[in-house]
Chain A
């Protein structure tokens, strides 16, 4: 039995100190040890994107990283996208308005991938949106509404309009 390793990192802005077995992936740590079940496990080998989270503000696949590697990092999960008052973010609001989900399994990963895009590029073209979510599979194939939702979110964020 290999000893666990103590790590410290922040998850959605809150400091976490935890002891993990080296082989535990970040997504398993988030879900099973921290109770953050928003990040979904789809393929568990880096193909589907359902487990996407932000690591130091850029989207990554949390099934392709061991939790020990997150020592010292800042992780944001889908649970961290909402405002401090629990209000949906403009992107989440736009997903709601455009009905950009069917079964919902890919939604957390789509939101993280899209937030990563908007953080870097506030005015993405439709092609850039498709490129950014090309990493994430929607098993319901509802991509069109997802693209529309991201476009709507970008438009609202640039206008500074609060639709909530």
Chain B
């Protein structure tokens, strides 16, 4: 349970980190260390054996939350607990604020970063799911450039993302919804703070008459990646949301997901739990939107 030997680098600028990561003139296995809440145990169990560990915790460019009005930018290296406690998160990104208390525990959120969770791309993790539901923009740097990509399409498979070798996720830009909105996040987990067996998040916007004008819904733990439920969203937009309509809209959920069995939950259990959690999230989001 001790990590294998590695060489340790601690860049203080993004340029320096990009340079260290891009230097592939040998067969070294280079790996970024952010919060380390997943990487360090993987190294302890020798599931990861980087030869060069690049600690990006001292890069100030990766830190902080910026309110840009129509969007909020979060530095990829910002601690999950800092984001959770920031009033901007509660005011502008209520879905993220609702999901963060489910991410690990105080001790792990004090170290774990928002970007670290996204690049890991665990299908049961809350932050990737929220990024997908809100279709956040991911800003990625590498030695020879910068690009932006959308969360929709970023998560490609189990723990696989569109990130290329040499890429560093630097900023996540979450869109802020205008008007009368409500959001909620629910999950079932073996222990509070463990990875979710099934999770669901929903955000809705209503017009002055109470008609749903926008809906974003997604589930975790139900497929190889976090999953957006477009069909459920389509059934809600343009309608006045009643309990009966929501019950009807969530009916196809078991057929929209592709869960696997694990020691803690069978695929059949996940198929039963997912629509219930989606329904709960939708009802709570709706009651938040309606004063």
Contact = CB atoms under 8 A, between A and B. Distances in A.
Is B a genuine binding partner of A? yes
Interface of A: 1-2, 5, 21-23, 25, 28, 44-46, 49, 52, 55, 58-61, 63-66, 68-69, 113, 116-117, 131-132, 134-135
Nearest to B35: A64
A2 B6 contact: yes
B59 to A, nearest CB: 13
A23 B51 CA distance: 11
A58 B105 CA distance: 12
A23 B3 contact: yes
B110 A59 contact: yes
B193 A135 contact: yes
5 contacts: A55-B110, A59-B106, A64-B36, A69-B33, A131-B106
Given A55-B110, A134-B191, 12 more contacts: A22-B5, A23-B43, A46-B37, A49-B107, A61-B37, A61-B107, A61-B108, A66-B8, A116-B106, A117-B106, A135-B104, A135-B105
Interface residues of B, number: 32
Which of B57, B110, B192 has its CB near the most chain A CB atoms (within 10 A)? B110
Contacts, number: 92
A44 B44 CA distance: 8
A116 B111 CA distance: 14
Nearest to A20: B8
B7 to A, nearest CB: 6
A45 B48 CA distance: 13
Contacts of A55: 110-111
Interface of B: 1-8, 10, 33, 36-37, 40-41, 43-45, 53, 55, 57, 81, 101, 104-108, 110-111, 191-193
Contacts of A135: 104-108, 193
A58 B109 CA distance: 10
A125 to B, nearest CB: 14
B185 to A, nearest CB: 16
A22 B2 CA distance: 11
